[in-house]
Amino acid sequence: RALKHMKKHWLSPFQTTLVSGLLACLSLTACGSTALSPAQMAPYSAQMQQMQAMRAPMLQAQSNPSQANAPIQVSFVKAYSRNTAENEAVTRKDPNSPGAMLVRLIDSARQTLDGSFYDIDSALIVEALIRAQKRGVRVRLVTDSDNITVKNSGPQGPPRPAIVALKKAGIPVIDDQRSGIMHNKFIVADGQSVWCGSTNLTDTSLYSHNNNALVLNSVQLAESYTNEFVRLFTHRIFGPNTPRTV
C-alpha cells in the first residue's frame, strides 16, 4: 500500500523498481530468511549505481566560473560536516560557493548594483562592493534596521563597522525603520543579472549554514527585482505590495 502511494506521488518507474527490491530484501530479513547472495543482489546494485549516475548532474549544478553567462547558475554552501569550523574551511576554498559567485558578479558589474539584504556583515562582500563603487559603479543598498548596529547591541548600540565602511565609501544604505523584518537577500547587477537565495551577507551564512544562491541572467527577472528595490530604496514602502508579474 505504501509503495502504491509512493509510485503515485514520488517515484519514477526506475525508482519504483529499486524501492520494490529493497523492500523485498527488508521483508526477507525481517522474516529471518537467509540473506540474498551477491548474484541475487546484483540487479539492485546496478540500479543503485544508475541512481547515483542520475544524481551526478544535480551535484554538478554548482556554478562554474567558465559558465558565467549561463541563464541560471546554482550554488550551495558545503556545510555537510557536523563541525562548523570544518564547514567554513571547506566553503572558503570553494570557487563555486554562494559567496564566491556573488563576488564574481559584483566584480563584473560596470554600471549599477542594487542590493537588498537582511544582514550585511561580511568583510569579503563589503570590500567587493566598495571596489565596485570606486571604479564608478553606482551601488545602493537596503537592509533591516535590526542589523545596522553591532550584533546583539540593540537599536541604540554602536554602528556596525561594515555599514560604516560602506557609507564612508559613498554607498547609500537605507534601513526599513520598522519592527517588521526586511528579509530580502538579492542584488541586481547592471539591470541584467540577479543574485538571490537564502544566503545573508554574514560569514556564518556564507560559510557554515546550509544555504543556497542563484544567479539569474535575465533582463526580465532583473527588471522585476529592480522594481522591488525601487519600492524599498526610493519610495520607502516596506509594507504589502501588489503582486509582481514576470
Question: Scanning the structure block, which residue is given the C-alpha cell 570544518?
Answer: 86
* Phi, then psi, of 125 in degrees rounded to 5: -75, -40
Taking the C-alpha atoms of residue 19 and residue 80, their distance in angstroms, rounded to an integer, is: 26
> Are 97 and 72 within 8 A, CB to CB?
no
Cβ-defined contacts of 58-63 (< 8 Å, 24+): 62/96, 63/96, 63/101, 63/215
Positions marked catalytic: 183, 185, 190
For residue 75, the tally of other CB atoms under 10 A from its CB is 25
